[in-house]
Structure 1
Amino acid sequence: MLTILDKYILKRYLVTFSVMILLFIPIGIMAHLAEQIGKMQANEAPLDEILVYFGNFTIYIGSLLFPIFLFLSIIFFTSKLASNTEIVAILSSGVSYSRFLRPYIIGASIIAIIMFIMGMFVVPNASKGFNEFKYKYLKKGKQDRVTNNIFTQLNANDFIYVSSFDPARQIGYNFTFERFDKENQLKFKISAANIRWVEKDSVYRLTTYKKRKIYNDTALVETKRRLDTLFAFNISDLTPVSYAAETKNIFELNRFIKDQKLKGASNINAYVLVKYKRWALPITAFILTIIAVAVSSVKRRGGMGINLAFGIIVAFVFVFFDKVFGTLAEQSGFSPLLAVLIPNMLFGILAVVLLQRAKR
């Protein structure tokens, strides 16, 4: 049962958070539009696609900044409560600090649920539209995927390699297909100067085709200048777009990660990192809420300005740690799980320390 105190703080919590989003998101949209309008005009982006893009941009950027907005909004209104001596009055009336913290935890739970649902199901769809528009009109001509030295394991026995891949023309160069038996012995190997998907005929066209079959100690070689054939893979799946994991809901992402692991994808850590970050986002909401309350509930000589300055510093440090460990996981063998846990553990410890100091 919520008391008058709970309703009062919870209302301030949610209203301040909502107002901050409504204030800063339009500013972000205007700044982004001013920066990119020239590219949109030069590449003749249709108005309807631009409108859809900015709808996706709002959801995509808003989800990234949710924790920061949450953190700063709590510091803002809690500092105001402290400067008006409201917190002193509440605690002097016999309310414990833990009891005073309850409406903040309720508010954090509401925001965490919203962040969880959006991160798992809403943001992926927005991310897909956002990134597709970006590479179509804003980064036209730039590759959105790895295009060199692509190795893919189709299943337990089949392996593919191309030295380079052109997504626009759907063609791979220096193509190799190898099949091994259960004893890991090579059964046959197909190589070609290039492999091209011919959509009209729904076949793969191999140029300078060569097939080498192994029979015990004998090798049979078959060559052709050109061969049209079928393979059990999609040529565009040789190398998924760099933002592939961001565009899938949690169920699709789990299947995608499993599929990429079977294929032996070299950048599997980047996909797993996206998954763990989604699960960690609601936890981050609670950690930042506790830090913000602990920092701003004490009345200071510098007032709200000191608290906001401290909040901005903490927010940037958190983002810095998140980016550093995320980059380590994507570009090295560092565990994606640890990359997500370490920043939250460090700031979780900071939250406990600051909370104990605030109680005293």
Structure 2
Amino acid sequence: MKILDKYIIKNFLGTFGFIMLLLTVIVLVIDVQEKVPRIQNSGFTVSYFLIHYYPFYIVYLLVTFIAIIVFISVIFFTSKLANNTEIVAIISSGASFHRFARPYLMTSLFIATIFLSVSHFALPLANTKKNVLDAYTYSDANREKILGNVSITTQLSPNEYIFINNYNKKEKRGSGFSYQKYDKNKKLIYQISASDVSWQAKKNNFELDGYLEKTVLKNDAEILKDGAVRNISFGHPPEELFPDQLLGQNKTTPELIKFIAREREKGNGNLNTYLNELYQRTSMPVSIIILTFLALSLSSQKKRGGLGINLAIGIALAFIFVFSFEALKVVSENKTLTPLMAMWLPNMVFAPLAAFLYLKRANQ
């Protein structure tokens, strides 16, 4: 490896590590101060959250904003090189701009590869820990939406349905339960209802209290049974049967792909939230490479205003990039765009821009 490569890689990784650490500390301090009242009102201590929540929350934030951290890092240290006329000296020595950009490519590929693996496998494990406590950092109204009572209507398969009038997600119990199964002609062939239902984790099934069971025979005759208690299994725990938006975050990519396939087979038409999560895990690490070359192209020339103007441009573009991802998630969930298009559209827009600016800079 040449001296030039070592010098740029050292600056790249050093600045990247410093900015990542700095932003982590700033975000942690601000976030803890904001959420202390909600945490304490929920019956927890701040120290408990610092140990059991925030380490995993920081992992989530870093993966979410890693491309932006890289982008600002490249702009910061490359602008310093340009202001110190180091880039002019390197180019004047006979090295081409393409040669100068090679360590940028190597380092961005290295970071992107690491965070690609983290996004697909390590982040879901962190999210599993984070999401257990996440609701307790919300306002009372938003926490009630996640942990409070809801009405359940879910489809287990094209011919099977579950209805629960009032179900508490936190306690995993409810009232007004009904399971219905239909034949291929949409005729009811089996139904079991109960006044109360509760999940029994040790037995891995549901317990029905005060149940009434009805079986419809081919000649339309009915067999009725009732009883005090009945255990019934649907093959999955409540989190899988009644999934929320956070469930996709908790699954590694192989698990998420299987879950999406199972939900699609069930006839679930609201899969875009999970598909967004799946495609973003690859598109975000790829954006690290794109934004690295965009930042290099913007900051490799000495400008009037120096580092300040480059950082201002960089932060503005970073805001646009992050906002576009979040806005496109909403668009995709409303089924205006496909999840694949929505999660790759920012890269599809920024990649040609980065290529154009890079070639323009290289040919100067």
Q: Specify if TM > 0.5.
A: yes
Aligned to 2:38: 39
Percent identity, please. Answer: 33
Which piece of structure 1 moves more, 115-124 or 273-282? 115-124
Q: How does 1:269-288 map to 2 (within 5 A)?
A: 269-288=272-291
- Alpha-carbon contact 2:135-2:147 (below 8 Å) kept: no
- Alpha-carbon contact 2:79-2:299 (below 8 Å) kept: yes
| Distance in 2, Cα, partners of 1:203 & 1:283 | 43
> What's the RMSD between the two structures over aligned residues?
2.6
Deviation at 1:131, TM superposition (A): 2.0
- Alpha-carbon contact 2:147-2:168 (below 8 Å) kept: no
Q: Aligned with 1:35: secondary structure?
A: helix
Q: How does 1:146-295 map to 2 (within 5 A)?
A: 148=150, 150-182=152-184, 185-192=187-194, 194-197=196-199, 203-207=206-210, 209-216=211-218, 218-220=220-222, 222=224, 224=226, 228-233=230-235, 234-295=237-298
Aligned to 2:144: 142
Deviation at 1:52, TM superposition (A): 2.6
Name the CA shift for 1:299/1:146 in 2 (closer, same or farther; >3 Å): farther
Aligned to 1:119: 119
Paired amino acid for 2:58 = T
Aligned to 1:12: 11
Number of residues of Structure 1 aligned to a counterpart in Structure 2: 358
- Alpha-carbon contact 1:91-1:97 (below 8 Å) kept: yes
Name the CA shift for 1:206/1:52 in 2 (closer, same or farther; >3 Å): closer
Deviation at 1:322, TM superposition (A): 0.8
Q: Is 1:130 paired with 2:130?
A: yes
TM-score norm. by structure 1 comes to 0.89
- Alpha-carbon contact 1:146-1:242 (below 8 Å) kept: no
* 2:316 equivalent among 283, 290, 313: 313
Q: Aligned with 1:298: secondary structure?
A: coil
Name the CA shift for 1:17/1:99 in 2 (closer, same or farther; >3 Å): same
Name the CA shift for 1:81/1:28 in 2 (closer, same or farther; >3 Å): same
Q: Aligned with 2:7: secondary structure?
A: helix
* Per-residue Cα deviation, 1:18-77 (whole angstroms, up to 9, x for no partner): 011111211111111111222333333243453232211221212222111100010011
Name the CA shift for 1:139/1:241 in 2 (closer, same or farther; >3 Å): farther
Deviation at 1:346, TM superposition (A): 0.4
| Distance in 2, Cα, partners of 1:148 & 1:38 | 26
Q: How does 1:22-61 map to 2 (within 5 A)?
A: 22-46=21-45, 47-61=47-61
Which piece of structure 1 moves more, 332-341 or 280-289? 332-341
Q: Aligned with 1:187: secondary structure?
A: strand
- Alpha-carbon contact 2:195-2:208 (below 8 Å) kept: no
Q: Aligned with 1:332: secondary structure?
A: coil
| Distance in 2, Cα, partners of 1:147 & 1:78 | 53
Aligned to 1:67: 67
TM-score norm. by structure 2 comes to 0.88
Name the CA shift for 1:102/1:206 in 2 (closer, same or farther; >3 Å): same
| Distance in 1, Cα, partners of 2:166 & 2:348 | 41
Deviation at 1:177, TM superposition (A): 1.9
- Unpaired runs of 5+ in structure 2? none
- Unpaired runs of 5+ in structure 1? none
Paired amino acid for 1:117 = S
Paired amino acid for 1:205 = L
- Alpha-carbon contact 2:39-2:136 (below 8 Å) kept: no
Deviation at 1:292, TM superposition (A): 0.1
